Amino acid sequence: MTDRLRVGLVGCGRWGKNILRDLRGLGCRVDVADPDAAMRAAALDHGAASAVDHVDRLDSPCDAYVVAAWTTQHGRLVDRLLETGKPIFCEKPLTDDPEHADRIAEQASERVFVMHKWRYHPGVEKLAEMAASGEHGAVRQVATRRLQWTTPHGDADAIWTLTPHDLSMIYGLLGHMPEPRAAAGVVDADGQARGLFGILGETPSAVVHVAANWPRVERVVSVVYDGGVGVMDDPLADHVKFYPGSGGQAYAKAPEAERALPVSTEFPLLRELRAFVEHVEGGPPPPTGAAEGALIVRTLAKLRALGGLPER
């Protein structure tokens, strides 16, 4: 059987192995570059056509590249891969440096895309569809919670690795990025950023709460419309919830009968990789381009500054 495309996967660790799995499932040949010998061996065991220790040793020509390395390496690797002239799908965030992200967006916005997977989540797409249709009136606020006890990333703090998810959803739900207004950060005794509470915009506004010091995992997205509230509080569920009304009545109960709106349970990683592969084959570009990726990096840098967090 002929491979659909030849994709160079740069980084095949904890998350990269899932990317490898889904690219293979989409019918692509995958050539892996990873400095870790154990990761290379695992990649070969899971279907990689080849595995080398450095991006410069990847067999060529590849039709496209996916970057799934450490956050602090994203910018350098994208710069290197731009020399190939091929499309690039980079894990979020695009970089941890706003100026570098802007340079990439200015240089190659038509070839670089960012893996903001929550933009491809069917539940988020449903909430965005409701917002765009106006069926429940104007959007008044978007609020997100992304809370957990720790983070598996060793090179960048939890704020850099978690918050881009929520900012990308806010952008997708509102169609623009509200300007950061206020933020409060949490730094532990070792000087590591562990939490961020941010407020953006006015009407509509957005509220973001991210933490890597929370005793339980929470993933919640809510959209307040004039006529009700849409909620996704279980990313694995086959529906999102809608609560009609606007509240405000003294001592009134919340609506007992919520409306469940069905959504697909297909994983967003597979959906975003499919969008990228189809683009490389001549289809439309993925919606999460480099310009948006750079905007998210800039916005996060502003929130960090407002919250008293270190730049990195």
Domain boundaries, given as residue ranges, for the chain: 6-116+269-297, 119-267
Cis peptide before 122 (omega within 30 of 0): no
| Rounded alpha-carbon distances, angstroms, from residue 6 to 20, 40, 67, 179 | 12, 17, 14, 40
Tens digit of each residue's pLDDT (9 = 90 or more) over 195-248 = 999 999 999 999 999 999 999 999 999 999 999 999 999 999 999 999 988 766
* pLDDT per position as a tens digit, 281-307: 999 999 999 999 999 999 999 999 999
Block residue for tokens 């739900």: 173
What does the pLDDT read at residue 236? Answer: 96
What φ, ψ does residue 183 adopt, rounded to 5°?
-160, 155
Q: Name the 3-class secondary structure at 70.
A: coil
Q: What are phi and psi of 35, to 5 degrees?
A: -70, -15
Strand ranges (E), the chain = 6-10, 29-33, 50-52, 64-67, 88-91, 112-115, 139-147, 180-187, 193-201, 205-211, 218-225, 228-232, 239-244, 259-262
Q: Note the pLDDT of residue 251.
A: 57
Going from the C-alpha of 211 to that of each of 134, 147, 177, 285, 306, the distances in angstroms are: 32, 5, 21, 32, 16
Residue among 168, 176, 193 at smallest CA distance from 91: 168
- Identify the pLDDT of residue 245: 82
pLDDT at 113 over 70: yes
Close Cβ partners of 230 (under 8 Å, ≥ 6 residues apart): 126, 127, 130, 136, 222, 223, 240, 241, 242, 243, 261
6-116+269-297 has which CATH code?
Answer: 3.40.50.720
Percent of the chain topping pLDDT 90? 88
119-267 — its CATH code?
A: 3.30.360.10
pLDDT at residue 129 greater than cutoff 80? yes
Helical axes 268-280 vs 16-25, angle rounded to 10°: 60
Residue 187's pLDDT is what?
93
Q: How many helices (H) and strands (E) does the chain have?
A: 8, 14
> In degrees rounded to 5, what are phi and psi of residue 83?
-65, -20
Give the per-residue pLDDT at 250: 58
SS3 (DSSP) at 147: strand
Q: What is the mean pLDDT of residues 180-196?
A: 94
User: Taking the complete model, does pTM exceed 0.85, yes or no?
Assistant: yes
Q: What is the pLDDT of residue 166?
A: 98
